[in-house]
């Protein structure tokens, strides 16, 4: 059955199935190409009549994940210029003033989209939450730093989407005063920036950061990728010059420059920059309710399928310690608690704590009264992935069947029930069901069997990064 909703730009036609109304590919800003390329997002042109919102809209220009990650993380590519679009799932019963969650996908600022089946919002709508998922510009289009273009364009896209939510979500039964932004990896890093951005003030009440800490770089650091791409393209490092390059050629060169980088191993990549406008150089502590956490073995997504974990020996471990300026006593501590671990596993565990768990705990320490911390510990049997990066998403969305590339068949539904229930509770009331962060450092560890609250897990290791 079809259903009509009226937005400020025009009417959209969605579809009702099993009591859930779904609206897909709804534009929240104008297509960012042609004269608008490398510009801030522009308003949507209103339309006459009823616009179909029955299929996912175009995705931002990107390339697939490199092998073998492309098999583990499917990344749909839908052509078209109207890539600044969003999707809405809401109960079809006509309820109003429901809590709203806005999902910002991950993908290292250069991959991903809102059209992954893993991000289907039906379970949230089933449980009384309006779920919105958004697309935003990626890679050089969204995060390339130029002297003649606004910085952080992908972040500006996200702010435009949140503004659309504030202005339109009541037409879908949502409460614009009770919005929770949630995201994983680059999505969580984006949210950490949004929490301090004056441009995003008042657009959301709560935030959920999954496996992504606050992270910005200076403009000159952020511009390095554009400089490298410009050399390969043999054009000036300006938005005007890049706008004249064929889009496919630009993606080819982008993949060549940043294709081997990853969040744990490092390498050239795209970042949010502290521009003093969208993102303050010295941000204030965030004022929103906050739920944050990470997966116990984040590094295994990048280290295990690629064989990196086996290529790292004692010598390369010592060289990595020098590169990251990690004292030898820290490595000895990690070895003592993991006597059977390979050198690559020791390095991965330290990198996970240095780059993810440590910064997230520091954020919790900066504003403890309204912060809740979790850890995801269930280990996937697929390819030795363990409790790797991104594994928790299917449990949060209660979409386990869509995530079997990572989890394998038969992932524990009770664990999905527990995580999904906690996320719904936090979006509804600001309390996910366990104690807020304080001097005891309570962490809800999600595992199966054995979900429960743990005080200060692995504190001796964590302290070396705080």
* Residues designated as active site: 185, 298, 389
Beta pairing partners, 102: 132, 181
Listed in sequence order, the residues at least 6 apart from 347 whose beta carbon sits closer than 8 Å to its beta carbon are 299, 312, 317, 320
- Taking the C-alpha atoms of residue 220 and residue 13, their distance in angstroms, rounded to an integer, is 45
CA-nearest of 150, 144, 148, 142 to 224 is 144
Least Cα distance to 298 among 396, 437, 438, 393 occurs for 393
CB environment 441-464: b (16+ within 10 A), e (fewer): bbbbbbbbeebeeeeebbeebeeb
- Side-chain half-sphere CA neighbours of 106 within 13 A: 23
Other Cβ atoms less than 10 A from the Cβ of 334: the count is 19
Contact 405, 442 (CB under 8 A): no
Q: Tell me phi and psi for residue 166, to 5 degrees.
A: -60, -35
What distance in Å separates the CA atoms of residue 399 and residue 376, rounded to the nearest whole number? 16
Helices (H), 280-390: 300-303, 308-311, 314-323, 328-337, 343-352, 358-366
């Amino acid at each position: 059955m079809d259903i009509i909703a009226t937005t400020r730009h025009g009417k959209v036609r969605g579809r009702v199935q099993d009591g859930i109304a779904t609206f897909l590919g709804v534009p929240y800003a104008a297509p960012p190409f042609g004269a608008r390329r490398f510009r801030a997002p522009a308003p949507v042109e209103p339309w006459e009549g009823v616009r179909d919102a029955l299929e996912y809209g175009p995705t931002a220009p990107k390339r697939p994940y490199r092998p073998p990650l492309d098999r583990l993380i499917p990344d749909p590519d839908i052509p078209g210029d109207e890539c600044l679009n969003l999707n809405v799932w809401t109960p079809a019963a006509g309820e109003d003033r429901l809590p709203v969650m806005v999902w910002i996908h991950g993908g290292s600022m250069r991959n991903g989209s809102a059209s992954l089946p893993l991000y289907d919002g039906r379970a949230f709508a089933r449980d009384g939450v309006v779920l919105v998922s958004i697309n935003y510009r990626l890679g050089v289009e969204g995060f390339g730093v130029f002297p003649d273009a606004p910085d952080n364009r992908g972040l500006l896209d996200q702010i435009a989407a949140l503004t659309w939510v504030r202005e339109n979500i009541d037409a879908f039964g949502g409460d614009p005063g009770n919005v929770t932004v949630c995201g994983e990896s680059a999505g969580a890093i984006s949210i950490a920036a949004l929490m301090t951005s004056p441009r995003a003030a008042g657009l959301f009440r709560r935030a959920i950061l999954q496996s992504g800490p606050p992270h910005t770089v200076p403009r000159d650091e952020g511009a390095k990728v554009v400089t490298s791409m410009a050399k390969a393209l043999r054009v000036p490092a300006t938005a005007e010059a890049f706008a004249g390059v064929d889009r496919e050629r630009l993606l080819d060169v982008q993949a060549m420059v940043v294709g081997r980088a990853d969040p744990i191993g490092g390498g050239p990549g795209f970042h949010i920059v502290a521009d003093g406008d969208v993102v303050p150089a010295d941000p204030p502590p965030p004022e929103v309710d906050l739920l944050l956490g990470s997966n116990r073995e984040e590094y295994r997504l990048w280290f295990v399928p690629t064989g990196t974990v086996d290529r790292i020996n004692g010598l390369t471990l010592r060289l990595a310690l020098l590169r990251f300026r990690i004292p030898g006593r820290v490595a000895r501590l990690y070895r003592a608690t993991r006597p059977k671990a390979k050198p690559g596993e020791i390095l991965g565990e330290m990198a996970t704590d240095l780059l993810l768990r440590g910064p997230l705990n520091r954020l919790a320490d900066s504003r403890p009264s309204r912060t809740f911390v979790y850890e995801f510990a269930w280990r996937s049997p697929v390819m030795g992935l363990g409790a790797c990066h991104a594994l928790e998403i299917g449990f949060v969305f209660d979409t386990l069947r869509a995530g079997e590339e990572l989890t394998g068949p038969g992932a524990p539904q009770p664990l999905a029930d527990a995580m999904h229930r906690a996320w719904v509770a936090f979006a509804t009331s600001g309390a996910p069901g366990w104690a807020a962060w304080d001097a005891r450092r309570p962490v809800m560890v999600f595992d199966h069997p054995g979900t429960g609250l743990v005080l200060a897990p692995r504190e001796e290791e964590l302290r070396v990064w705080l």
